[in-house]
């Protein structure tokens, strides 16, 4: 692992410990432009790690410090996500698949992070989860199922018959999403889009039974405070 210290960091506020991991993509096709931006004082943005398509990992900010990667948003009752998270930037333009070497490196990186800080898999999230509407990364091409199979994230499935039994209830859907962590302020259609981006990529149209059934399953199995370490 190479180190390229970024000046864009500081102490975590209120002695917070990281209990969230936020995954991003850089929206740039190359490592050097991404690193330059994340290490530029003018950019006022950074992340703890930068992962190249070939699997090379660079550390830009120490895990104990607060990197500036999350911005405005929320996850559960956490509104200063930067102070409670570790940010990982994947070099990707946003329209490309994530290579196997990059995903393998991400898995190894996450193995260490979750072990050191006790981060449960439901608190490994995308930028779009905590900032719906404002951010869409890591996007619809990111393989959350692969991380879930390694126990490094979550993915839920609901049998078809349970989807058919679930009625469409917009208020219940929003409440279930909030219980699962989606607490950032956003219009209903924006929250639906963010939820689908992560859990039903490719789904379109108005809120449906499948959306409501998946949200209810998320809320039941992975309420946002389940197993969360004390701040």
How many structural domains does the chain have?
A: 2
Same domain, 192 and 140: no
Exactly one of 58, 89, 122, 217 is catalytic; name it. 89
What is the distance between the alpha carbons of residues 215 and 209, in angstroms, rounded to a whole number? 10
Q: Please give the DSSP secondary-structure letter assigned to residue 182.
A: -
Report pLDDT for 207.
Answer: 98
In the chain, % helix, strand, coil (3-state, to 5) comes to 40, 15, 50
Report pLDDT for 29.
Answer: 87
- Degrees (nearest 5) of the Cα angle 67, 69, 74? 110
Same domain, 126 and 179: no
Same domain, 164 and 141: no
- 3 forms bridges with which residues in the sheet? 59
- State the residue range of the domain holding 121: 2-149
Among residues 176, 159, 142, 137, the alpha carbon closest in space to that of 210 is found at 159
Contact status, residue 152 vs residue 111, Cβ threshold 8 Å: yes
In a domain? residue 229: no
**pTM score:** 0.96
Same domain, 59 and 173: no
Contact status, residue 19 vs residue 86, Cβ threshold 8 Å: no
Which of the residues in the chain have pLDDT under 70?
A: 227-231
Same domain, 139 and 168: no
In a domain? residue 196: yes
Same domain, 136 and 189: no
The yes-or-no answer on residue 217 being catalytic is no
């Amino acid at each position: 692992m190479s180190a390229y210290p970024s000046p864009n960091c500081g102490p975590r506020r209120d002695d917070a410990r990281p209990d969230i991991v936020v995954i991003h993509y850089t929206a740039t096709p190359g490592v050097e432009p991404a690193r330059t931006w994340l290490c530029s004082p003018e950019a006022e943005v950074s992340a703890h790690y930068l992962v190249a398509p070939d699997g090379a990992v660079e550390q830009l900010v120490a895990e104990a410090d607060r990197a500036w990667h999350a911005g405005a948003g929320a996850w559960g009752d956490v509104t200063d996500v930067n102070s409670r998270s570790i940010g990982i930037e994947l070099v990707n333009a946003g329209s490309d698949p994530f290579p196997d070497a990059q995903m393998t490196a991400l898995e190894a990186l996450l193995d260490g992070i979750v072990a050191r800080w006790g981060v449960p898999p439901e608190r490994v999230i995308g930028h779009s989860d905590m900032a719906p509407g404002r951010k869409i990364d890591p996007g619809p091409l990111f393989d959350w199922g692969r991380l879930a199979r390694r126990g490094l994230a979550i993915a839920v499935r609901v049998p078809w018959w349970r989807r058919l039994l679930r009625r469409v209830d917009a208020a219940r859907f929003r409440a279930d999403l909030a219980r699962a962590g989606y607490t950032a302020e956003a219009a209903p259609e924006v929250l639906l889009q963010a939820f689908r981006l992560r859990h039903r990529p490719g789904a379109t149209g108005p809120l449906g039974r499948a959306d409501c059934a998946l949200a209810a399953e998320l809320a039941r199995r992975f309420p946002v405070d389940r197993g969360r370490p004390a701040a």
